Structure 1
Amino acid sequence: MRVPVTSRRSLRRRALAARVLWNGAELLVTLGVVLMLLVVHQLWWTNRQAREGAEREVQALEREWGEGEGSSPSVTGDGDPPEAGGDSSGASGAGGSSRAGRRSGSPTNPVPARQPRWDQAYAILTIPRLGLRVPVAEGISEPNVLNKGYAGHYPDTAQPGQAGNFALAGHRNTHGEPFRYINRLREGDRIEVETRTAGYTYVVDRTLPQTAPRDGGVIREIPRSLVHPRYGYSDPGYYLTLTTCTPEYTSKYRLVVWGKLASMRPR
């Protein structure tokens, strides 16, 4: 009877194959852990950091405004706001101009005395239906504004309460995701904007569920989609625009919500 004999070469090949398989399994497990940590960082940690930072900034603005109460705000211009409840008829896309917004303001319609500094938080956005209360900062820089969980003000659009279009962008997912649920807003919902000099109430009027990122018409002085022209307005007014990415977890399209100024109250 012959006894099977295994050569040393065969044993070495088997050992090498086992080591390769083991190392490959370790590598796959390591990659899986790294990917899981990245997902946790993006979907949980960035949200936590941004929300905490945004909340601190809201509190800081409120303290700053409280300390400055009693001073007379400086205003400029010649525009008047619509009456409370009146009809002034009618994210991220390319910026449009808002000449009327820049020149509006009166003692009954306070506006910032000077243009906010770049990346500076200078207003507070509140949406009661969504339980949202976040700072508004000048500009739409991701690292300096949006990734902090703020709403970013599109440059060259109107400021709060001014004639024209006060246009904002915000993340829908990660980094605080302040605009995650703006698709739930319905006609008649209130949106509050507070500044050092006044508070403004806008009322949701229309929603554009999906448009191209390049659709800059949605943030023009008189907002109207260039991609879907049946969405938008044809007359000057006092508008608010909210923009964000859609569908969720992508940046393929933009979701747009429009509102109109209903009332204002001096601080």
Structure 2
Amino acid sequence: MPTRYDGDRDYEGPDSAGAVATERRGPGGGATAVRTIGEILITAGLVVLLFVVYELYITDIFSANKQANANTVLDDEWKNDRTLHPDLVEGQAFARMYIPEFGADYHFTIQEGTTEKSLVVGPGHYVGTPLPGEPGNFAVAGHRVGKGAPFNDLDELHSCSAIIIETHTDFYVYKVLPYEDEQKGWETGKGQQPDCRGVSTLRDPNQPDGGAYGKTVGRKVVAPNRGDATNPVPYQPKDILPAAGQVSLLTLTTCHPQFSARERLIIHSVLTRQVAKTEVGTIAELTEKLKTAGETR
């Protein structure tokens, strides 16, 4: 039977097996709505995926270029023996950071300031906190995801991990402080290991609460509003100790957990050694010297 057209309906004759003619109808309103919603969700998913790719990979490329340029400028300044001005410039590199446990290729310049202008290049120094080696709390912030992610692996550090800061004239070796669950028995336990030389709990044994540094441990996770983590004595009023009585600390801060800004991961370390560049010329020489002495892993 020939096919015929009747208004908005298509009709077909029986097939070769003699089947009864069937009516084909277009999608109803419900099906159309489901399809539309599906298309919107697919589009939204693609937008989110592109954003994730941009944050994780594209920003890393941009930051790597900025970091390379900052390294070149800093090398030029040090090579030509140009000293930095007392007032550091926002976004300007003035030091380098190394973490031997993260490999020989881990090194980042440290810029002045913690605005996006600084952090897109690399770790940024909290304005107003001391400089490397000085008494008090030399504090540095860094991204954990995207933009070079210099602090992506901070949660892999452990007590006594070395963090080395290089300036124009010196290397400063900081060691991560004991974690909270290591406080008891530290002096006769892990504190006796060679890589923990110079690292103590900082607690005052004569004070029930440990004294001024009783709240300072190697690793803490805090709320984003805990700005006192970068105080001269962490988590204490800024005037609790005079400068002469303050320990030389290095504090690193980053977002926590990964892919979230819900909390902050804080790593506190203490200065254990200052080495002039006239004594060891390169970071490779210094790390080899520390390894030979058993002071790094």
Task: Note the alpha carbon deviations across 1:23-64, whole angstroms, 9 max, x for none.
Answer: 766555444333322211111111222133213322331233
SS of 2:218's equivalent in the other structure is strand
Instruction: Say if 2:141 is the partner of 1:159.
Output: no
Unaligned runs of 5+ in 1: 74-111, 227-234
Q: Which amino acid aligns with 1:183?
A: D
RMSD: 3.1
Correspondence for 1:240: 250
Say which SS state the counterpart of residue 133 (structure 2) adopts.
Answer: coil
User: With structure 2 as the length reference, what TM-score do the two structures score?
Assistant: 0.63
The structural deviation recorded for 1:167 is 0.3
Q: Which residue of 2 aligns with 1:62?
A: 75
Distance 1:262 1:188 in 2: 10
Distance of 1:252 and 1:50 partners within structure 2: 24
Q: Structure 1 residues 225 and 181 mapped into 2: Cα distance closer, same or farther (>3 Å)?
A: farther
Q: Does 1:138 align with 2:151?
A: no
1:93-108 residue pairs with structure 2 within 5 A?
A: none
Report the equivalent of 2:62.
Answer: 49
Amino acid at match of 1:127: I
Q: For residue 126 of structure 1, what is the aligned residue in structure 2?
A: 98
Confirm or deny: 8 A CA contact 1:119 1:137 kept in the other structure. yes
Question: CA contact under 8 A between 1:216 and 1:225: conserved in structure 2?
Answer: no
What is the CA–CA distance in structure 1 between the aligned matches of 2:63 and 2:259, rounded to whole Å? 17
Counterpart amino acid of 1:146?
A: L
How many correspondences in the alignment? Answer: 213
Q: Distance in 2 between matches of 1:29 and 1:266?
A: 59
**Corresponding residue for residue 15 of structure 2:** none
Q: Which residue of structure 1 lines up, in the alignment, with residue 51 of structure 2? A: 38
Greater shift, 191-200 or 49-58, is seen at: 49-58
Contact 1:55 1:134 in 2 (8 A): no
Of the three residues 88, 96, 99, the one matched with 1:116 is 88
Distance in 2, matches of 1:28 and 1:190, equals 47
Match of 1:217 among 224, 228, 234: 228
Q: Distance in 2 between matches of 1:175 and 1:113?
A: 27
1:5/1:174 Cα in 2 relative to 1: closer, same or farther (>3 Å)? same
Listed as ranges, the gaps of 5+ residues in structure 2 are: 11-24, 178-216, 238-244, 278-297
* SS of residue paired to 1:210: strand
Give the secondary structure class of the aligned counterpart of 1:145.
helix
Question: Within 1, Cα distance between the matches of 2:85 and 2:120?
Answer: 27
CA contact (8 A) 2:90 2:118 kept: no
Change (3 A) 1:223 1:32: closer
**What TM-score, normalized to structure 1?**
0.69
Q: Take 2:34 and 2:226, find their aligned partners in 1: how far apart are those partners? A: 52
Deviations 1:139-180 (A, max 9, x none): 1002x01123x1111111101111111001101111111111
The higher radius of gyration belongs to 2
Distance, in Å, in 2 between the alignment partners of 1:120 and 1:203 is: 26
Q: Distance in 1 between matches of 2:33 and 2:248?
A: 67
Partner of 1:250: 260
Matched, 1:262 2:272: yes
